[in-house]
Amino acid sequence: MNLSQWVYLEDISEHVGEDVEIRGWMFNKRSSGKIHFLQLRDGTGFIQAIVEKSSTDEEVFKTADSLRMESSVVVEGRVREDKRSPYGYELDVKNIEVIQIPSEDYPISKKEHGIDFLMTNRHLWLRSKRQFHILRIRDEVIRATREFYHSKKFVLVDTPIFTGAIGESAGETFSVKYFDLGKAYLAQTGQLYLEAAIMALGKVFNLGPTFRAEKSKTRRHLTEFWMNEAEMAYYTSDDNMTFQEELISYIVKRVLEKASEHLEAIGRDVKPLEKVKAPFPRISYDEAVKLLQKKGFDMKWGDDIGGDEETGISVEFDRPVMVYNYPGNIKAFYMQPDPNNPKVVLCNDMIAPEGYGEIIGASQRIHDPDLLIEKIKEFNLPVESYDWYVDLRRYGTVPHSGFGMGIERLVAWICKLDHIREAIPFARTIYRIHP
RNA sequence: UCCACCAUAGCUCAAUCGGUAGAGCAUCCGGCUGUUAACCGGAGGGUUGUAGGUUCGAGUCCUACUGGUGGAGCCA
Q: Chain A, 255-314: which CBs lie within 7 Å of strand B?
A: 304, 306-308, 310
Q: How crowded is residue A391: how many other Cβ atoms within 10 Å of its Cβ?
A: 12
Question: Where is average pLDDT lowest: A161-165, A192-196, A411-415?
Answer: A161-165
Separation of alpha carbons A53 and A276, rounded Å = 53
Question: How does residue A431 score in pLDDT terms, banded at 50, 70 and 90?
Answer: confident
- pLDDT, position A426: 94
Question: How does residue A112 score in pLDDT terms, banded at 50, 70 and 90?
Answer: confident
Q: Is the CB of A420 under 7 A from strand B?
A: yes
Indicate the helix (H) or strand (E) that contains A391: helix A387-391
Mean pLDDT value across residues A138-142: 98
Q: Which range, A19-23, A104-108, A353-357, has the best average confidence (pLDDT)?
A: A19-23
Judged by C1' against the alpha carbon of A38, the nearest nucleotide is B35
- pLDDT, position A216: 85
A167 has pLDDT over 80: no
> Residues of chain A with pLDDT > 90: what percent?
77
Judged by C1' against the alpha carbon of A409, the nearest nucleotide is B76
- pLDDT, position A381: 86
A306 has pLDDT over 90: no
- pLDDT, position A113: 87
Q: Nearest-CA residue to the C1' of B30?
A: A33
Question: Where is average pLDDT lowest: A158-162, A172-176, A421-425?
Answer: A172-176
Burial class (CB in 10 A: 0-12, 13-18, 19+), A130: middle
A170 has pLDDT over 60: no
- pLDDT, position A169: 57
Question: How does residue A382 score in pLDDT terms, banded at 50, 70 and 90?
Answer: confident
Indicate the helix (H) or strand (E) that contains A22: strand A19-31
Whether residue A12 contacts residue A40, with contact meaning beta carbons closer than 8 Å, is answered with no
Reported as a single tens digit per residue, the pLDDT across A44-74 is: 999 999 999 998 999 999 999 989 889 999 9
Q: Is the CB of A108 under 7 A from strand B?
A: no
Nucleotides of B under 7 A from a protein CB: 1-2, 10-13, 24-28, 31-39, 67-76
Q: Is the CB of A110 under 7 A from strand B?
A: yes
Residue length, chain A? 435
Average pLDDT of the residues of chain A:
93
Mean pLDDT value across residues A119-127: 92
Q: DSSP alpha helices (H): ranges in A161-226?
A: 191-201
Distance A217 CA to B16 C1' (A): 36
> Residues of chain A with pLDDT > 70: what percent?
98
Q: Is the CB of A409 under 7 A from strand B?
A: yes
Reported as a single tens digit per residue, the pLDDT across A222-270 is: 999 999 999 999 999 999 999 999 999 999 999 999 999 999 999 999 9
- pLDDT, position A355: 86
Sheet holding A175-177, edge to edge: A162-163, A183-186, A175-177
Mean pLDDT value across residues A114-139: 93
Q: Which amino acid belongs to residue A187?
A: A
Distance A183 CA to B50 C1' (A): 38
Judged by C1' against the alpha carbon of A219, the nearest nucleotide is B70
Q: Is the peptide bond preceding residue A320 cis, with omega within 30 degrees of 0?
A: no
A200 has pLDDT over 80: yes
Separation of alpha carbons A40 and A52, rounded Å = 16
- pLDDT, position A1: 47
Q: Chain A, 159-218: which CBs lie within 7 Å of strand B?
A: 168-169, 172, 189, 212, 214-218
Q: Is the CB of A434 under 7 A from strand B?
A: no
Residue of A259, A275, A276 lying closest to A134 (CA atoms) = A259
